[in-house]
Amino acid sequence: MESSKLSDEIQEIEKAFCDYGKIHGVASAFVEFAAEDAVINRNNKIYKGKEEIGLFYSSLKVKILSLEWYPSHIDGSEDMTMAYTYGNYEMKYLAENESEIQESRGIFHTVWKKQKDGTWKYVYD
């Protein structure tokens, strides 16, 4: 496998991840695309494993309306089993009082690992 193939695979999984969130909700997407021992770093705290990731998203005091991102950089290991991406994201959400839509923009960084079954799951976000 050549590096452009790796880049194509990661581009596809990032798009599938984002699209899944649009259909099934952000919380479901972050659980579905996580490796069993994945971690997310939110508000300077690490949440480890699918259960903790799901609990984090279910405990949010805001309602995420949309989350979109697109990787501007993809790179990976020579053996094609690990990759990382980064780029810009945009999130729209309802504030706690649910009276107005808020927006948040920033930069994401995701680390992907090829699983034993050949699928890609994120191990860090």
CATH of 3-124, one of 2.60.40.1180, 3.40.718.10, 3.40.50.300, 3.10.450.50: 3.10.450.50
Average predicted confidence (pLDDT) for the chain: 94
What is the predicted pLDDT for the residue at 106?
96
pLDDT band at 1 (very low <50, low <70, confident <90, very high): very low
Strand-pair partners of 37: none
> DSSP letter string over the chain?
--HHHHHHHHHHHHHHHHHHHHHH-HHHHHHHTEEEEEEEEETTEEEEHHHHHHHHHHT-SSEEEEEEEEEEEEEE-TTSSEEEEEEEEEEEEE-TTSSSEEEEEEEEEEEEEE-TTS-EEEEE-
Write down the domain spans for the chain.
Answer: 3-124
CA 103 distance to own-chain centroid: 18
Sign of CA dihedral 91, 96, 98, 102: negative
Place of tokens 């695979």: 9
- Range of weakest confidence among 61-75, 90-104, 106-120: 90-104
Quick: pLDDT tens for 41-79. 999 999 999 999 999 999 988 889 999 999 999 999 999
| pLDDT for res 2 | 56
